Structure 1
Amino acid sequence: MIISVSGENGHEGDAVTPLEAAFEERACAQRAGTDVFLEGVNLALLGRVDQLRIRPTNASGTVDDDGPHEVRLEATDEEPRTGCTCAEGSAGAFCRHAVALALVATGSAGLAEDDGDEDGEGIVVEGSLFADDPVHAAMRVFLSRVPRAELVETLLDAADEHEAVADALWEATVAWHGRQHGAAPSA
């Protein structure tokens, strides 16, 4: 079964499978919540999804995260279903392992193998969280999860080594202090 999605003008839409429609990345982010979604993004970008099997209505694979976890996704008429051998997934939650598998299986993370049906642009979905730059996506995950003290030291070390980083941090510091004290932003 294929679902047709119309383009911007109502024509020339892309064909998507029920799996792709059910596990579209923004829906996954809403269903999982921000923290769990970012953890799944991290696993996907680190290449932790293996033994991937994809069909139009379901996908399965293993996700390596402190040991392998068996994950299954299924697009049904009612709502998407997931299963995972981790504690959260076994309790029925949409876990980080299901997020990682969904992103890779649907091509949202730009990591699924090209099946030859693409137009030479690659398989990263336009408008995807990963479309602009997967390196920035990985760094965003890192920066959002690293402990604050470690982040501060990393940025100060980078500023010591690179003048452009020091300049950018100084400009951000001045702007932040201005906002804290009610100063109008400089043009």
Structure 2
Amino acid sequence: MDELIDILDADGNMTRKTAMKSEAHKNGWFHQTVHIWFYTSDHKILLQQRGKQKDVYPLLWDVSVAGHIGAGEDIIESAIREIQEEIGLTTTPPDLDKIGIFKSIQNHSIALKDYEFNHTFISKLNTPFSCLQKQESEVEALKLIPINQFSEEIKEISKYGYVPHNQSYYETIISKIFENLL
């Protein structure tokens, strides 16, 4: 789905320009997204398998919930909206623990350049897995796996079918979740 988004400079500052997401991807313009990683008190992490119709990384395992931040949209409101859309879960701002903003540059093709600043959150999943409702148009599947298993599998990203995020990004996520579980 195409949508109007804010355009950022290479340092993550607002430029006061907006564009359709498709135009930003075509031209390699920086923009904002939200990433929300859910974990459970029994040390599991919620993963999302990207839909088979996605332009990039179809059917690979990825962050629990992710999406673009609309033009002028508040970051927290965007995260809450994406969570509701993608997994059918109602959350509130105190449920979200922001752990950082990660710059990501992915040149998928001449016509698809994904230059993002990912506002990244972790959140404890207090709802039973069976109550989650995946968004059929975006999400192929959901699964919970032990965080220790995830930590080992991301060492061989392609073997286990994960989106090839930067290794330090994955390590930061795991570290922050373990800090919250202590």
With the length of structure 2 as denominator, give the TM-score of the two structures. 0.29
Q: Which has the higher helix share?
A: 1
What is the TM-score normalised by the length of structure 1? 0.29
Relative contact order higher in (CA < 8 Å, ≥ 6 apart): 2
| Higher normalized strand content (fraction of residues) | 2
